[in-house]
Structure 1
């Protein structure tokens, strides 16, 4: 396999920068063998421990949890391997077959292991407290306690088994169809670079919204929406089917609303999340101020959508090897231990950065397993913004690396909202380093404006996405089918609320909802970004205030993984979620960013 590390150059657009999955599993055949072994181990676990929780003691429970963690870890490794393979080539029949086999295997394993969770949830409070307070299970105490919050929404074992059996056809198939359409979509486009019309994926077209040429930006968006239009009905049907299924499952489980499962996974109270979204909407004026200023800087009376991310100043190109160096330096200034984490990703070929047809769009960092190293997928297009994306995903990598070293396979993971804090913090580290070391004035102006607009995209735009989901679920709950036109109406209305009269939206943008994978994969995922960004701005202000004294506490936070609640973990760093003004430091920081960009 041809790869690029921190010592070998890559070509344009990170050519040849592919990951090496062999440390996880040798090949598809071995993945199937390991899956079969994990299934056999799951069945043996069931035979040994079914009915045991009623009489088990602390040491016995610790032994059971260790075996459960080992099984979970092996399933995660094999499942991650299959998912990572498919994410870089959704057209491969071998990848599809392996993914289908793993999906079936996961259902079978879940069916064998489900009894343990159900028996744990069925214990009365006194018995459960006796067990989770036993010193032998201290490492997984929070895991056990947190699991019980799902008790009111858990069905009988036969019912849970039946629902799991239907999941691949009822859920995964629609997600796969969405992924195949959006990953393989290519449309011809002339970017004005002398190469004439070339096939462009969704990600390549979206990257052009930061092109310095206004006509290129406008045509790129128009081409994107024209390319999506023939698929709008299919994409909306995928979403309508998934939302309808989720609402039906919510009714069966007795959830109070479609956001409750996400809140429980994030361990965040619904009122805290709603208050946060309300606070963001009250501060839309910060964005309006910037949009008016930016229109003036661009010599326009009013921005149009294709002007939203127009460069202020022209940022220089950044080749992939330089991006590696910049990130290592950024992380190293904070902590040599953090730099070592980044070095491992590059040196061990755990990043797939080259854009290509059939590869999933966007970016992610996969934790893989407690005894394996994480992997990053992104689509590097030689932009300065790609440096920030890479830093973001490696921030997740920091979290996964430190938590897997300190926690068990059951306790290393966190809810979505807390998981986004390290990635956002890593972006801030990289931005500060770039502003201190970059000498080109035009690039500095570009960095300042992109930092402002990145915060807006994370806080304001993700709130728009959350509000869109709320309205879509409400419409479906009332019996309305989520057609492309109805989704477009909701999408446009929520975006108009954000942009106000400061930015003109084209009619093509009515399809802006259609290619966003978070709606398909994980409902209400997007508010996690809002929470994380505002919380991280507050944390970063403390880091600037106390400097090196913050580092050890922050690495301890990363190492804690999911071993405590978000309010406990953030409280240890000085962020109090019970404070009604908890979000205000974040908004003040955003205002400071706008002022700096105006002055720059």
Structure 2
């Protein structure tokens, strides 16, 4: 499942006007009618038969087939069959995953998800040979085959998977790794999800799930923020042993896999999956860390003064500013705001996004057991994406809607590349989402009626950008510390807590004070569990979009066409190829400075606006 945003604080649903609305729930019937739909078993059986048939025709025969009389055309036909099979398997697994995310505490959904996962894993184990065997074919033979248009269609995919060639193991070992995944990292992922969903946090006499508790951290009432923070710290602390066990196990599991495959750096497997060079990521990390004083330290010192002191407790980091102009945003208004912003950029973009509302591709309400945060799931090209939100009616929720719909638009456009080439590396997967968010923010800013309202919007956007860039690079640094230390032996919870506080202090600066309990806040971050080292993709995407939006603001006609061509490419092009039409290059250190300077400039604008408001008083 393609996860997007971390759970971000907003507010308590009991106080929300938005909670009284009837919010949309998704209709999964484009996949299957229900968990009891006979089509599920039929498709699983059909997939098993097709996988067995493909293995019979192809296993141990690919190179000979490519050299044979039908050559590249026959080889391309096999790839096309493999692609159809991947789409079918993905359809079944997508349905199980989406159904499970709607209530991760429901025993029936848990069982259904686990059973489907086991069946799909068993089938896909029999298909592992296909890509492994392709990577044993001589490069020259495959290159010659591209003269045939049918095989040339799959050039990006073949080029892409052959990047994995130095790290692949013999077939039986790959099969073992794959089959044991359901009792290894996948099982620990499920344990994490179910543990988090089952936790309850006592706040002011109520027992709250994690999502509404996190939302309280942006309440206007400081007592509520403090109570929520202390409840989070206490419950995380009471359960820190299990979170430490999950973290230790998954870090060791990754180390074993990396060692067998020959990866040198602890994040190299993620860089490879993202199709981005380690040097590019290192340049991003260094640029952001060097900018901490100019960005997060500067902003939080400013905010601390607004909050009435030289420092502020960690639970005030995402608090509303004193006197902030805030209001509830009904769902119908959120929808109109995002579609209008998208439409101003391109009617085509708004038309695609509108389908998510009209055809019930969005699940918006907060429900007990529902996955926290938000994501857009591409499912498979033969169906369509779905968006999960926990909508509570603040401006930040509107921005999250814009963010996830950006993912959805991207996934719809990339779907034409087919099941093998539609998926986009994580570093580029955030491009459309952050761009859609920026379009929506700029639209809201233009419509701000007063300097005070503009100040509120600007501060909120800066905080989101700091959460996306500075905080995610700090998360990446934390993961590096944990995974590096785990190679030396098992880590105590205290050791993990120390690593967390270290990177938080470095990144957030001296204006934020950390009280007892905050040392455990690493425990709820799902990306550490589901996708190690995923988090730098957020910073990559945000800085990329900042640079891209700067080009858009001064671009002549034709920008939109280039933008849609970039999204439609899916995973068929490297970041250098995708950015070249815009005159951008992520391998250039100046590229990251350009993106970071946008945040720095916005902080300067906020300071100037604040001074203007003070003069008017």
Q: How does the TM-score come out when normalised to structure 2? A: 0.92
Q: Pairwise CA RMSD of aligned residues?
A: 1.5
The 3 A distance-change label for structure 1 pair 199 and 440 is farther
Any residues of structure 2 matched to 1:198-213 within 5 Å, and which?
A: 198-213=206-221
Alignment partner, residue 28 of structure 1: 35
Secondary structure of residue in 1 paired with 2:591: coil
Task: Select the residue among 39, 44, 59 that pairs with 1:50.
Answer: 59
**Aligned equivalents of 1:296 and 1:98: distance in 2?**
52
Alignment partner, residue 366 of structure 1: 377
Aligned residues of 2:18 and 2:328 also touching (Cα < 8 A): no
1:11 to partner: Cα distance: 5.6
Alignment partner, residue 154 of structure 2: 140
1:470 aligns with 2:488: no
Question: For 1:420-465, what per-residue CA distance to the aligned partner results, in whole angstroms no more than 9, with x for missing partners?
Answer: 1111111100001111123255443221101111111111000010
Aligned residues of 1:212 and 1:314 also touching (Cα < 8 A): no
Alignment partner, residue 460 of structure 1: 470
**Aligned equivalents of 1:418 and 1:22: distance in 2?**
29
1:258 to partner: Cα distance: 1.9
Alignment partner, residue 297 of structure 1: 306
Question: For 1:539-588, what per-residue CA distance to the aligned partner results, in whole angstroms no more than 9, with x for missing partners?
Answer: 00011111643111101101011111122112232221232211111111
Secondary structure of residue in 1 paired with 2:194: helix
Secondary structure of residue in 2 paired with 1:199: strand
407-416 or 293-302, larger mean C-alpha shift? 293-302
**Aligned equivalents of 2:97 and 2:181: distance in 1?**
16
**Aligned equivalents of 1:461 and 1:527: distance in 2?**
9
Task: Select the residue among 432, 448, 459 that pairs with 1:449.
Answer: 459
Alignment partner, residue 144 of structure 2: 130
Alignment size in residue pairs = 583
**Aligned equivalents of 1:224 and 1:394: distance in 2?**
30
Secondary structure of residue in 1 paired with 2:491: coil
1:137 to partner: Cα distance: 2.3
Alignment partner, residue 337 of structure 2: 326
Task: Select the residue among 215, 226, 230 that pairs with 1:218.
Answer: 226
Question: For 1:212-234, what per-residue CA distance to the aligned partner results, in whole angstroms no more than 9, with x for missing partners?
Answer: 12222122111111122211110
Alignment partner, residue 347 of structure 2: 336
1:500 to partner: Cα distance: 2.6
Q: Which runs of 5+ in 1 are unaligned?
A: 1-9, 191-196
1:208 to partner: Cα distance: 1.8
The 3 A distance-change label for structure 1 pair 247 and 88 is same
**Aligned equivalents of 1:328 and 1:310: distance in 2?**
28
Alignment partner, residue 440 of structure 2: 430
Alignment partner, residue 176 of structure 1: 190
Task: Select the residue among 547, 550, 561 that pairs with 1:538.
Answer: 547
1:13 to partner: Cα distance: 6.2
Any residues of structure 2 matched to 1:399-548 within 5 Å, and which?
A: 399-405=410-416, 407-439=417-449, 441-479=451-489, 481-546=490-555, 548=557
1:32 to partner: Cα distance: 2.8
Question: For 1:61-114, what per-residue CA distance to the aligned partner results, in whole angstroms no more than 9, with x for missing partners?
Answer: 221121111111111111000000000111223212221222112222222211
Alignment partner, residue 562 of structure 1: 571
Task: Select the residue among 93, 113, 122 that pairs with 1:79.
Answer: 93
Secondary structure of residue in 1 paired with 2:27: coil
**Aligned equivalents of 2:111 and 2:217: distance in 1?**
36
247-256 or 520-529, larger mean C-alpha shift? 247-256
Question: For 1:13-47, what per-residue CA distance to the aligned partner results, in whole angstroms no more than 9, with x for missing partners?
Answer: 65453211111112223323312211211111111
Alignment partner, residue 285 of structure 2: 277
Any residues of structure 2 matched to 1:190-201 within 5 Å, and which?
A: 190=204, 197-201=205-209
Question: For 1:479-499, what per-residue CA distance to the aligned partner results, in whole angstroms no more than 9, with x for missing partners?
Answer: 2x1322111010001111112
Q: Which runs of 5+ in 2 are unaligned?
A: 1-16, 610-617
Alignment partner, residue 377 of structure 1: 388
Secondary structure of residue in 1 paired with 2:161: helix
Aligned residues of 2:432 and 2:567 also touching (Cα < 8 A): yes
1:471 to partner: Cα distance: 0.6
Task: Select the residue among 125, 132, 140 that pairs with 1:111.
Answer: 125
Task: Select the residue among 267, 272, 291 that pairs with 2:275.
Answer: 267
Question: For 1:181-222, what per-residue CA distance to the aligned partner results, in whole angstroms no more than 9, with x for missing partners?
Answer: 1112222323xxxxxx33322121211222112222122111
Secondary structure of residue in 2 paired with 1:582: helix
**Aligned equivalents of 1:138 and 1:371: distance in 2?**
22
Question: For 1:167-193, what per-residue CA distance to the aligned partner results, in whole angstroms no more than 9, with x for missing partners?
Answer: 101111111110011112222323xxx
**Aligned equivalents of 1:362 and 1:14: distance in 2?**
19
